[in-house]
Amino acid sequence: MGEGREGALGRLKARRAGAGAGAGAPRGSAARAHEEAEAYMGRMAEGLRALGLPAGELPGGGGGGAAAAKPGPGLGGAAQGPAGAPRGGAAEWLAGGAGLAGSARVDVDLSDRPLLCLSVRDGLAVAGGSDHGLYEVDLAKGRRSRQLHSKRFGHQEWVTCVAHLRDGRILSGGMDSKLCLWDARGVRCAELPGHRGSVSCVQTDRESPVAVTCSYDKTVRCWDLGKGRPTEAWCMSKHRAPVLALAWGWGGLVASGARDGKAVGTDLATGKALWTLDAHQGHCTSLAWGRGGVLYTGGQDGHVRGWDFRDDAGCFDLPAHIESHRGSGAVGDILVHEDGDKVVTVGADLSVCVMDVRKAARPAHTFRDHGDFVYSALLSGDLLLTGDGSGAVLSHDVRRGELLERLPAQANAVRCLALDGPGRRLVLAGDDGDLTSLAAP
């Protein structure tokens, strides 16, 4: 990015620079938080080492590394994935008397191949799959409104990830290394060159025309998708293995996890890698930011770890998905409750763990109600929804630790779940090639 260049990333940089100038600012202000965060980061490495846990390349003092803990100008979470699920709305009626079984159901046949990714925004759902196409569905009308694939535009391989931008445009990534930025209407897209391996994750911001992507080419890239030609703002290439997961949110930081078990924190405004954690043995499979800048990581080793960048204690380690007779199950999803006190993790051991982070991250509840691999999960309020390989969708109350309902939703794996809060709908897609909408009665 050029110094004088306008755009989402330029404005973000300017705001952060202005906010950081408040030495001696009053308690509770953003500038004061910046000052305190620098001190937290200076003590982080010592806290980790005192626990005998890996500190990786986390800076042990001030200097450049301390900037990792500076709160940003209010960037929201990603629009894609369970952590970005809307609160209220659909969750209220799903947790009520009607539940899943009493919902009005609409099935839209989109493909004869599995659907692998899903994004929902303002009554429109977009699903991408292994037939190389993406399909937009008008949820109110219950029918397909667009097919985003043609001889001239689109992917030549499986579509692995998709997310809406605020203005209705759609960004998709595929195994062909392509990133396609689709117009809000029509069937045209612009290709964003850069990645040289399968795109594993796409995340967009709720407020700004900015996206972050990661790939098997070992890079994390940020894109300025504002007015004019879409451009790559920066490319972070510190990873030494394919990048599998992203978490974007707290303080304008992007955390990324790779197949070598390492997690890297990158400053959104500059693209500078600020720290590296030796997070897990095997792959680092999932990431999520919690309250106050705590980073939760999940790994192929079945462990869930919380990295607190403010606290001398530094980190907790919970073997949440390890059983003596089954071995470890990779952590597939990490969901943080809106109150910040509960964290839900989903494992390949077929279990779902609810942790209370106020009590040394001890398990509050463990659900073992699935009889097949859990592919998808979302959390809205106290309601947890999970979809598995048998086509079932289960709902749990994470506060009370209760199974509420089991719905045979599809004939095959339910790979994607999303809530359309304003429309009071649960949307799911998977190996059937169908998109199913369950609406409030």
**Could you read off the pLDDT of 352-372 as tens digits, one per residue?**
999 988 876 788 899 999 999
Residue found under tokens 């605020």: 166
Residue found under tokens 């309601």: 383
Query: Which two three-digit tokens encode residue 332?
Result: 């597939």
Q: How much is the pLDDT for 81?
A: 33
Rounded CA gap, 254 and 190, in Å? 25
Return the exposure string of 409-430: e unless at least 16 CB atoms fall within 10 Å of the residue's CB, then b. Answer: bbeebbbbbbbbbebbbbbbbb
Share of the chain above pLDDT 90, in %: 63
Q: What angle do CA 40, 48, 267 make, to 5 degrees?
A: 50
**Extents of the domains making up the chain:** 8-439
Rounded CA gap, 95 and 417, in Å? 16
Report the SS3 class of residue 209.
Answer: coil
CB 346 within 8 A of CB 332: yes
Q: How much is the pLDDT for 102?
A: 86
Rounded CA gap, 333 and 337, in Å? 13
Rounded CA gap, 215 and 244, in Å? 7
Q: Identify the CA nearest to 429 among candidates 418, 440, 421.
A: 418
Q: How much is the pLDDT for 178?
A: 95
Output phi, psi for 147, to 5 deg: -115, 120
Rounded CA gap, 58 and 113, in Å? 44
The dotted CATH code for 8-439 is 2.130.10.10
Q: At residue 422, what is the residue type?
A: P
Q: How much is the pLDDT for 249?
A: 78
DSSP states along 125-171? EEEEETTS-EEEEETTTTEEEEE---SSSS-SS-EEEEEE-TTS-EE
- Tens digit of each residue's pLDDT (9 = 90 or more) over 34-71: 344 444 444 444 444 444 444 443 433 333 222 222 22
Regions of the chain with pLDDT less than 50: 1-6, 8, 12-13, 15-88
Q: What angle do CA 264, 244, 117 make, to 5 degrees?
A: 135
Q: At residue 362, what is the residue type?
A: R
Q: Identify the CA nearest to 199 among candidates 220, 223, 215, 180.
A: 215
Q: How much is the pLDDT for 155?
A: 96
Query: Which two three-digit tokens encode residue 101?
Result: 């079984």
Residue found under tokens 């942790």: 355
Q: How much is the pLDDT for 314?
A: 65
Cα separation values, 183 from 120, 206, 229, 230, 237, Å: 16, 17, 13, 12, 29
